[in-house]
Amino acid sequence: MGAHLGELYSVGTALCWVGTAVLFTKAGERMGSMVVNLLRMAMALAILIGVAWLTRGMPWPTDASQHAWVWLSISGLVGFTFGDLCLFRAFLLLGPRLSTLMMSFAPPLAAIAGWIWLDERLGPWQLGGMLTILAGVMWAILDRTPSAANQAKPSARRWGVLLGFCGALGQGVGLVLSKYGMGDYEAIAANQIRVFAGMIGFAVMFTVIGWWPRVRRSLNDAPGMAYTAGGAFAGPFLGVTLSLLAVQHIEAGVAASIMGTTPVLIIPYMVWVGKERVGPGGVLGALLAVSGVAILFLAPS
């Protein structure tokens, strides 16, 4: 039952990523992705403090061990600050299609890190399910119309690929570090530490590059702030909390593989709302990815 709970939490995380991707795209178009990144962390932290106060009776994780504070903080810096910085820069250099394809490497990187760091061993069913999901996601992404980034200079594409890989590395390793730092500690409180560390990382960067005036201007953009608030709830608050619950029950690589189905899950939205055409490869890739999730659910414990 515990394994199936972890898989359900992973599916919930992937669905949250769909919502946060849509909302943050709209917010980023108005305020810029970097500003949105900082504001979403602050909003998510405020939500987490309120929820922790209601559910745990304490607004701040003062009961966390030194081990949890150190490793969850490192996880927040690696996953939120480093990983997201690389990912958003890769989006500019490669476009969304190829950047998302690079992020498909996060699950195998999480599996490798989990094996090295946590001695997590994956059975043949788990490996088969993970590879099926990865193949389906990559097939669905590659079926989509190439972006204008394909006309970029070769040097820009090389940097984009490197940054995309670093983004995947940040996501995969950050998830493993979260599991290592959290142990059996409560997910809400663990997420508070991660989000706080990520927010501090962005705040330091904004101070160095002198971007605080941009943040102040964005605070007056009511629609942009509304989109950011919705994305903060769906992403850093709910999505990340579910991801932490997932890795408490199953291996990090398995959880990351299911969470990585977001590019497939977002297809219905892109078709119905975005009016995007999806070819046979996109449909077959989506079905393959879903079958991979089914394999993980049916895999022997």
Residue-wise pLDDT for 72-116, tens only, equals 999 999 999 999 888 878 877 877 667 778 888 899 999 999 999
Q: Which residues 6+ apart lie within 8 Å of 76 measured at CB?
A: 174, 193, 194, 195, 196, 197, 198, 201
Q: What is the pLDDT of residue 1?
A: 57
- Beta-carbon neighbour count of residue 114 at 10 Å? 26
**CA distances, 285 to each of 136, 145, 274 (Å):** 4, 15, 19
Give the confidence band of 126 by pLDDT, cuts at 50, 70, 90: very high
Side-chain half-sphere of 82: how many Cα atoms within 13 Å? Answer: 18
Whole-angstrom CA distances from 186 to 110, 191, 242, 248, 253 are 21, 9, 11, 10, 21
Radius of gyration of the chain (CA): 18
Query: What is the band of 224 on the pLDDT scale with cuts at 50, 70, 90?
Result: very high
| pLDDT on residue 199 | 96
Residue with tokens 């809400």: 188
Structure confidence at residue 148 (pLDDT): 45
Q: Determine which helix (DSSP H) or strand (DSSP E) holds 268, and give its type and residue range.
A: helix 267-272
Query: Does the pLDDT value for residue 187 go beyond 80?
Result: yes
pLDDT over threshold 60, residue 146:
no
286 Cβ contact partners less than 8 Å away, ≥ 6 residues apart = 136, 140, 264, 267
Instruction: Tell me which amino acid residue 6 is.
Output: G
Which of 97-101, 142-146, 163-167 is the least confident region? 142-146
Helix (H, G, I), strand (E, B) or coil at 145: coil
- The percent of residues in the chain predicted with pLDDT above 70, rounded, is 94
* Position 152 pLDDT exceeds 80: no
Q: Which two tokens stand for residue 79?
A: 């996953």
What's the average model confidence in pLDDT over 191-203?
A: 97
Query: Considering only CA atoms, which of 261, 38, 294, 83 is closest in space to residue 176?
Result: 83
DSSP assigned state of 83: I
The residue behind tokens 């039952």 is 1
| Nearby residues of 270 by Cβ (< 8 Å), 6 or more positions away | 276, 278
Q: Read off the pLDDT of each residue in 182-198 and give the average, rounded to a whole number.
A: 97
Average pLDDT of the segment spanning 228-253: 95
Average pLDDT across the chain, whole number: 90
Using 50, 70 and 90 to split pLDDT, how confident is the model at 145?
low
pLDDT at 149 over 60: no
CA distance linking residue 116 with residue 137, whole number of Å: 25
- 252-291 tens-digit pLDDT: 999 999 999 988 888 888 788 777 777 888 889 999 999 9
Q: Which residue has the higher pLDDT, 96 or 211?
A: 211
Q: What is the pTM of this model?
A: 0.92
Say if CB 114 and CB 176 are below 8 A apart: yes
Average pLDDT value for residue range 216-225: 96
Torsion of CA 40, 114, 136, 105, to 10 degrees: 60
